[in-house]
Amino acid sequence: MPGHYNIISWNVNGLRASMKKGFLELLLDQKFDIICIQETKASPDKLPREVKNIPGYHNYFVSAERKGYSGVGLFSKEKPLNIETGMGIEDFDSEGRFIRVDYEDFTLMNIYFPNGKASRERLDYKMAFYEAFLDYANALKAEGKKLVICGDVNTAHKEIDLARPKENETTSGFLPEERAWMDKFLAAGYLDTFRMFNQNGENYSWWSVRTRARERNVGWRLDYFFVSENLKENVKSASILSEVMGSDHCPVGLELEFPA
């Protein structure tokens, strides 16, 4: 895999459920060099053997202390040089939301950011997680690392990033403080890769199942690939794979190229 990386990130909304809806076929297709998933909802010991023995992939999973909740996973053709399964903050790491892998060309962080809809306490938790993550990323960037950050960020950044912005101004996921943090994050030296290539509306990655919103494309763009500015020249494409079914989210993609 030298020089070229085709990566996707997908909130699968339960790994075992998504396996019954085509996720295994996506892995067996071998099209992607790195597959990052969020909301696995399973501890590694509860995962079916077939998903942990995909030919050609190394796999890594992080689960929450609470059963059937949160969790992230990563499949990689290239064995990482280093793996970290938390930010070093117990209050956040206990929810199994973070995995970092270091390659020769870049460092990748796969994150399932908290949802703030349930209560004021969860919104406060989400905002604290955002700040802790930004501190963590900035420390790595200060060391000169090239960063790729992907996952379900649980916030639509701008009005263009959701179908009904006016109706959702008081909903977590589009609150002023959440959007302001996204501004702060990008201003700190990170790029929203999809917007490097596409400035059009109606590009979403999550749709409510309850209202059959996907059929009408009434969605939100909650899933992102960001890169630190020192990787800008290596980004060849970024995409939303809206045709891929199997979850209330669809995957998002990133293609990186490194000269020989």
Q: Give yes or no for a contact between 62 and 35, defined as CB atoms under 8 angstroms apart.
A: no
Closest of 251, 245, 208, 247 to residue 12, by C-alpha: 247
Side chain identity, residue 87 = M
DSSP secondary structure letter of residue 197: H
- CA torsion sign, 206 to 15 to 134 to 107? negative
**Alpha-carbon separation of residue 175 from 35, 89, 112, 192, 202 (angstroms):** 30, 25, 18, 19, 20
Of 235, 223, 256, nearest in space to 9 by CA: 223
- 3-state secondary structure (DSSP) of residue 10: strand
One of 105, 152, 192, 223 is an active-site residue; which one?
152
Three-state secondary structure call for residue 155: coil
Whole-angstrom Cα distance, residue 63 to residue 47?
A: 11
Of residues 4, 3, 76, the one with CA closest to residue 34: 76
Cα 56 from Cα 34, distance rounded (Å): 11
Cα–Cα nearest to 37, from 244, 256, 257: 244
Distance (Å, whole) CA 160 – CA 203: 8
> Is residue 45 annotated as a catalytic residue, yes or no?
no
What positions carry a catalytic annotation? 152
